[in-house]
Structure 1
C-alpha cells in the first residue's frame, strides 16, 4: 500500500524531536547541520501537513504545543525505526561485523544516547548502531530475548538473568508549571501532600514511575494519575500547560527549569537518587564494539562509573 502524501518527511520529524529535546529551534538547526531559516521552513511545512501549530516561539526559546508533543510522541517510534533501517542497510553495504542493536529507556534515549551516538560514530565509523527507545521493563525483555545486544534502563531492581554496570546517576524531582499555585508557595511540599496529588505520570513499566513508587512504598500509595503519558516531551508540555505536577528525571527537566518553563518544588523527606545502568545477559563477554559502547556511555554521562 503506497504511503499517503500527507505522511511527513522523516527529516522534519527528526528535527521536531530535536526541538523538543533542546528547547530551541536554533540549537536544533545546528545539531542537524542546517540554518535556522531552513529549520523554520521545515517545521512550517510539517505544520501545514498536520494542520496545527506544533511549536511556540518566545524570547526563552521554542517549546512544543500540545499537538506538537503528540506528534513528537508518534514520531519517536517512526524515527527510531528509520534509524534501525539505516543501520541495517549500512551493515549490508559495508559487510561490517560491527552491527550493534541497543535498547534504552526513554530517559536514556532522549537525554544521553544522542551524545553517545555522535562519539561512537567518531570512534567506530564502520559500526552500524541501531537504537530502540522503550520503557525499562521492555528493555529488560529485549535483552533477555536477544532482540538487542545491550540495554540501558532505570529503576532500583535488576531482573534475573542480567548483569549490569552503572553508566550514570540522576535523581527524581517534582516539577510544576510556572502558573501553578504550587509554584507560588514558599515552603516545601510534604510527603502527605504529594501522595494526595494527581500527577502527570509515565505509563506502568516506566523506570521513573517504578522508582517513585518504590521510594514511597512505606509512606502510602500515590493518588491516581491525572493522566498517563508515554514520553517526556508530552509530560513536560502537560505540566507546563497546568494539567498537573510530575516527578521526572533531573536530566529531563534541567533545561526547562533553567528557562523558567518549569519550577522545581522540594518535597520534605523525599530523596530518590537512582542509577542508570547498562545491562546484558549474564555470563556473556562483550565484543570490542560493545566495550566501546560502554566506554563512551560512561565518558559522556553525568556521574558515570569509571570502574570496569
Structure 2
C-alpha cells in the first residue's frame, strides 16, 4: 500500500537520514552468502528438474512438477543478474575495480551485459523519475501486463548491449551520470563484459553438445523463464510511483520476498542508499520505519506476499519523467 504523506511534499527539500558507516561496507560473509544464494537456485533446482525427468512418475505428473522447478531454476539466472547489479554499485567488495570485474564475470553466466547496464543504471539512480532518467523512456512504452512480460527485459537488454559495444569500441555514450572510472577503465570493463559473455556462450554450447537434456531443462528453459520474470520485476518496483526520494520507487516487504531476493526487495531503501549492500537493506528499512519516515513522506510499500503483484497490470503505469532534474545526488554518502 501507499501511505498518504503526513505533511506537504517538496522533492527539492526532502532529506534522507545518515546511516552508520559500517552499513556501507561489503563483508566477506555477505559476498559469499550472496554468491551461494544466487548459484544455489541453479544447482538445487536444476538437479531437481533432472531427477524429476528421470523418475518413473507418469508423464503428466512430471510436467506438473517440472514447471515450478524450471521457474525456480530460472530465478538463479535472475539472481546472478542481481549479483552483477551489486558489482555495478561497487558493493560486492571494497575495491571498486574488483567489485565491477567480479560482477562482470558472474553476470556473464546469465549473459547479462553488466557494464552497459551500469552506464544506464547509474543515470537511472541519479535521476529517478526525473527528466534525465533513461528508464522512464525504456519502460513507460509498455502499458499492459503482456507487453511488459514479453518486451520489458528484451528492450532493456538491447540498450545495455548497445552501451557495452559502444564503450568497447571507444565510441561516445549517451549523456549520462557515469560510473566512477576513467575512460580507459570504462573501455576495459566493456571489453571484459563482452569477453566473459563469449566464454559463457562457448561453455553453454559445450554443455548442449555433451549433455543436451541437462542443457534443455537445467539451463535453456530456466533462462527463458528468467527473461520475462526479471522484466516484470522492474514494473513492480516503479509502476505508479512519484517524484522525489521516498516516493520514486517501491519496496515489497515480507520475509518471503527478502529470502527470495536476498534483500533486493527493499528497492526503495536501495534507491535512497545505492551503495549499501543488499544484505544490509533490511536493517535500513527498520531504521527508517522506526523514525516514522515512511508515513511522513507517503512511501510506496507493498506488504505481504501477493500484494506487490497488483502493480504488474495495466492499472499501474511506469511513470514518464515527472519533474526536472534535482540537485540531490543519492550516490553521495551521508
TM-score band, normalised by shorter chain: under 0.3
Higher RCO, 1 or 2 (CA under 8 Å, sep at least 6)?
2
More helix per residue: 2
What's the TM-score, normalizing by structure 1? 0.26
What's the TM-score, normalizing by structure 2? 0.25
